Amino acid sequence: MQDFNKINQEILTFVKDRDWEKFHSPKNLSMALTVEASELLEIFQWQKENDFLDSKINDVIIKDTKDEVADIFYYLLRICQKMDINLEEAFWDKMKKNKIKYPVDDFKGKSTKY
């Protein structure tokens, strides 16, 4: 996946240029990822359920959401770099497990936990 490699390389260069490698332990990166996920949640904080119907999502909300999902993606990839995890492979392996854990016949239309 060439774009993925390009993104990974961009992150490595970004970190190296700023000499941030020394700060990027899996623990610190995991904490940063959680902060970014909270920033995503903050966009929707205090909104009523109906405030986020498709017709009410405006350009500012979309712009802010794009920024936060990009931050989350950055830290996710950075954790994978540090721990030598192939994210694409990890995704497909986990989807296999999820399909076993949540069979369609038992979970279709249900939000209950396994």
CB of 58 to Mg ion, least distance (A): 19
Determine the angle formed by the axes of helices 59-82 and 2-18, rounding to 10 degrees: 80
User: Does position 39 bind Mg ion by CB under 5 A?
Assistant: yes
Cα separation of 39 and 2, whole Å?
29
Helix (H) or strand (E) holding 70: helix 59-82
CB of 39 to Mg ion, least distance (A): 4
Nearer to Mg ion (CB atom), residue 33 or residue 36: 36
> Tell me, what DSSP letter sits at residue 46?
T
CB-based burial label for 28 (10 Å; 0-12, 13-18, 19+): middle
Nearer to Mg ion (CB atom), residue 39 or residue 82: 39
CB of 71 to Mg ion, least distance (A): 4
CA distances from 54 to 57, 62, 111 (A): 5, 11, 21
Name the one range near Mg ion by CB under 5 A: 9-17, 32-40, 56-64, 89-97: 32-40
Nearer to Mg ion (CB atom), residue 39 or residue 73: 39
User: Does position 64 bind Mg ion by CB under 5 A?
Assistant: no
Nearer to Mg ion (CB atom), residue 6 or residue 66: 66
Interface residues with Mg ion (CB under 5 A) are 36, 39, 71
